Amino acid sequence: MLASLRKAGTVARAASAGQKRFLSIHEYQSVNLLNSYGIPTPKSVAAKSPEETYNVAKGFGSDKLVIKAQVLAGGRGKGKFDNGLQGGVHMVESPDQAKDYASKMLGAKLITKQTGAGGRICNAVMLAERRDPAHEYYVAVLNDRGTGGPVLVASAQGGMNIEEVAAKDPNAIITTPIPFDKGLDKATALDLANKLGFKDDQTKQEAADIFINLYKIFKDKDATQIEINPMAETTDGHVLCMDAKFGFDDNAEFRQTDVFALRDISQEEPSEVEAQKANLNFIKLDGSVGCLVNGAGLAMATMDVLSLHGGNPANFLDVGGGATPETVKKAFELLVADPKVKSIFINIFGGIMRCDYIAEGVINASKELALKIPLIVRLKGTKEAEAKEMIRQSGLKIYAYDALDDAAEQAVQLAH
């Protein structure tokens, strides 16, 4: 279950997790989705300009508001904008103050522990009414390998890092399996509210309804996770979802067009967006050796061998088994566009993938792109001999190897 909590406790997508991407949406979009299922939240409205922010704040009829930068990353409150503004979450006391903060946030990049040094652009802010919590809880719905189905994970210790809670006090985590077809029944939901320590019948009922409806969203919308941290019991005796993170399964895009229409590609690495259009599995990293490999397992093994020889991969790139010379050329364009790449290592094991297709793509790309970066190639398997002959006749300076260790070592040396 700790593995499931780690998954629920972060929206960061690590390269080592493999090829699959899961759609994430902004907080204001999550709030709208929660509200559409009758799940209560503080009143929240998004704005995309300082003037709109002023008008939205004025429309609240209250001076006690919070302004939040809408960036797809955790740790916004402790982040810093590239223009010097500290923090992506601020209390505001007037429409003028809201406008001032918006003018500094919008168009600037927010740098958090999850964005990397480059940060992510802030194109919208969200204004929310301030609701004072008497107690904060943690709630998540996700798929759990251990139980082989969906679970609701909850804790009375919300508003903090759930992984730390799980590590320090495993008993503070309550895991409730949910029958996939039937969903969460009212008796089970009320029992969970009881275990979490809600004080009276009204708050127990409100919490139970939230649990039930969270699973409805999870199932209806093909979510991979829903995380509410915190869910709060307010000082005026109500239960509200104060913050929400959603992830959705990319395989369901064909039937969740309304959800996937919310995708914000400005929050994604541009090279990864381009790769996705070409059906390439690509994740940008920070090293200097560009990698072009077929198969996720071989791609990760290749990155490990490069690291073993003192190098750092610049990317995870799996061209898959159905690559053509055209997709190989596109992969090359992605690699050479990265100024950090100092050498390119092509490691292909030809099974379904034909080595001669890779060779053709490599030769064409090298000529068309006037490649100056050292190119190291290891081709084994289907049409291997033909591929090697094509490379030999091309007249290009390509370092060809049969042994993985030798090829990786050469790629690292040339990158240095």
Helix (H) / strand (E) element for 98: namely: helix 95-105
- E strand map for 179-288: 223-234, 239-241, 244-249, 281-284
229 is in an annotated binding site: yes
- Is 243 annotated as ligand-binding? yes
Bridge partners for 144 per DSSP: 149
Helix residue spans in 221-336 (DSSP H): 257-260, 270-277, 296-308, 325-336
CB 196 within 8 A of CB 187: no
What torsion, rounded to 10 degrees, do the Cα atoms 196, 201, 205, 206 define?
A: -80
Active-site residue, 357 included: no
| Catalytic one of 27, 206, 227, 384 | 227
The owner of tokens 């409100």 is 206
227 is catalytic: yes
| Whole-number Å distance between alpha carbons of 42 and 149 | 31
Is 136 annotated in a binding site? The answer is yes
CB 347 within 8 A of CB 407: yes
Q: Do 225 and 246 form a contact (C-beta atoms < 8 A)? A: yes
352 assigned to a ligand binding site = yes
Query: Are the C-beta atoms of 353 and 321 separated by less than 8 Å?
Result: yes
Task: Dump the DSSP string for 151-168.
Answer: EEEEES--SS-HHHHHHH
DSSP state of 17: G
Task: Check whether 287 is labelled as a binding-site residue.
Answer: no
- Three-state secondary structure of 358-389: HHHHHHHHHHHCCCCCCEEEEEEECCHHHHHH
353 is in an annotated binding site: yes
Of 28, 137, 138, 401, the catalytic one is: 138
Give the residue numbers of the binding site. Answer: 68, 75-77, 136, 229, 243, 294, 351-353
Binding site for ATP, by residue number, is 68, 75-77, 136
Binding-site annotation: residue ranges for Mg(2+): 229, 243
Give the catalytic positions in this structure.
138, 227
